[in-house]
Every structure is written in structure tokens, then in C-alpha cells.
Amino acid sequence: MYITIKVYLHSRETKFLQTGSFPVIHSDFKKDPDWTAAVAAYKWIQQIKSNYAASEDFRIDQVVYNADNDITELVKNVRPPF
């Protein structure tokens, strides 16, 4: 199954929007849709930061999935596995 994620970010004194469609495991999504979407968004944001050499002022302003589900705070609380 796929979800659509929009991330509103800030870097180098510029705000920008990235949108994409991402695969998620259906059973995980059914169990906890917000957390599953947050993990997918977090991974994508890490890729964005890496690809664009994010500046020190990089921040996440808002993260939304499937048009109207705001998961901004969840994404900010995702921690990478060790």
C-alpha cells in the first residue's frame, strides 16, 4: 500500500515543500497509521537532508500524509534504531 506524504521544510533561510508517494506495510499501517506514516516520513526527510546538504537552520515545519493527517510532532519524535 502507498501513502502520500507532504513535508514543509526550512533550510538556508528558505521554506520548501516536497511531496511523494511511499510504500508502507499494510498490516503496520492498519495497526498504527500515524506512527507508520511518521517513520516513512522521517526516513525520507533524512534522505532530503543528505541530498541537499541541509544547513544548520534546517527544520521541519509540517508533515502531512494522505492530504489531512498532520503527523509533525510524531515525526520529530522518531529516533533512528541503534
Range in 12-16, 22-26, 40-44, 54-58 the model is least confident about = 54-58
Average pLDDT over residues 7-24: 91
pTM score, whole prediction: 0.88
Q: Identify which of 47, 41, 27 has the alpha carbon closest to the alpha carbon of residue 74.
A: 41
Q: Among the residues of the chain, which ranges form H helices?
A: 26-31, 33-51, 72-77
| Residue 54: band (very low, low, confident or very high) from pLDDT cuts 50, 70, 90 | low
pLDDT at 52 over 80: no
| Residue 14: band (very low, low, confident or very high) from pLDDT cuts 50, 70, 90 | confident
